[in-house]
Amino acid sequence: MTVQKTYQGLRVLELGSVIAGPFAAMIFADLGADVVKIESPNGGDDSRRVPPNLGTQSTLYQMMNRNKRSLVLDLKAERGREALLRLADSADIVIESFRPGVSDRLGIGYAALRERSPALIYCSVSAFGESPSGRGLPGYDPLIQAFVGLMSMTGDPSAPPARVAASVIDLTTGMWAAMGVMAALARRAQDGKGHYVESTLVDSGYMLLCHQISSMLATGEVPTRIGSASPIAAPYEAYRTADGWLMIAAGNDASFGRLCKALGLPELLERDEFRSNAGRIGHRHELNAILQQCLEQETSASWTTLLEAEGVPVGPVQDLDQAVQHPIMAERAMLVVPEGTAPQRASILRVPFDDARPPRLRAAPTLGEHSAEILCEIGLSTEEIDVMLSATAPATPAKKS
């Protein structure tokens, strides 16, 4: 197995926490960059304390921070800020996810670092960016899902609004941040200059809804909750079977004809209201009642076999454990056990591009694991390093008498 080395030789400083910023930096770490994760002496990244744990480390932290090195710095102290500035002098990229204005107040914002290193690429990740209306608003994945309208159109129409289970806002924000930095690297290769990149949760949320927003602006119709169905095709949703649920995506006339043949319902093709996709959408509830009565007579596996044989797009609605145990997961080599000394290490997912073979991944670092070696790299003496480490060491609880 070979390590992916697309960005070998690049140094990335990450001042991020939880998902969005760390995920962006993780992509570069997996692709060979030296990612130095700057953590506070106050327990480091908040995700270190997010359950569940494997051994003593959060599985979320393990996923987002493999292949990185951890350096503990107190950025509120002059010595810590000076160390960061010296480290930034040797960096190609800085990715930070402070609230707007915080990095500037600390003296480590884009303007300050660009003055020292004109070729530096600086990426800010935040909830709403610098816009006056959103600058001070809190930014968490579910809050943005609610804000942009995603929750209002997710779930069953008879149920409350639902959050998408995956952290889609955080993760896509991290992806956009990484793509923005990659674009800046390409520009730097042409002009030799550094660039500022901004990636926000709210922009990512709007972009996830790009075709819904375009449709609403064109028609004036506001999307509502329709469960697993699609507003642009029918039948195109999940149906109950004798033992579970089945997703059917008969999105055009040909696949609908094959579905009717496989289910033994050829008479549906003779009904005017079902002859076109538009008609089937308009009479969705009537069509679904007929299909549901038929589909609940057999198991999901039986229907999957039958419908696949007829060329109908179909698939079972699987639990997560079923999805992970499916042979496709192993064939795609998506799960990798990271290297490291910890007795318990969770299998983690590789980045799904660049090379289908599993790369060698280093386990996520313990808090401050690489502090001494990184401080040595920026030229601090042994005495200076000892002072820095003692200043950021966690306090030892007082013994009870």
Are 225 and 155 in contact by the 8 Å Cβ rule? The answer is: yes
Are 286 and 276 in contact by the 8 Å Cβ rule? The answer is: no
d(CA 23, CA 68): 11
d(CA 81, CA 99): 18
Q: Give the list of residues 6+ apart from residue 380 with CB closer than 8 angstroms, or none.
A: 83, 388
d(CA 168, CA 299): 32
**Which residues on adjacent β-strands are paired with residue 190?**
none
Consecutive H or E run containing 200: strand 195-200
Residue 176, classed as helix, strand or coil, is helix
Q: Residue 99 has which token pair? A: 């609230």
d(CA 34, CA 250): 47
Per the residue annotation, which of 45, 92, 170, 203 is the catalytic one? 170
354 labelled catalytic: no
The residue among 94, 82, 72 whose CA lies nearest residue 14 is 94
Q: Residue 365 has which token pair? A: 């670092």
Are 287 and 235 in contact by the 8 Å Cβ rule? The answer is: yes
d(CA 284, CA 255): 16
Are 353 and 332 in contact by the 8 Å Cβ rule? The answer is: no
Report which residue type is found at 338. Answer: P
Are 388 and 83 in contact by the 8 Å Cβ rule? The answer is: yes
Q: Residue 21 has which token pair? A: 């910023």
DSSP state of 121: E
d(CA 383, CA 106): 25
Are 169 and 18 in contact by the 8 Å Cβ rule? The answer is: no
User: Which of the residues are catalytic?
Assistant: 170
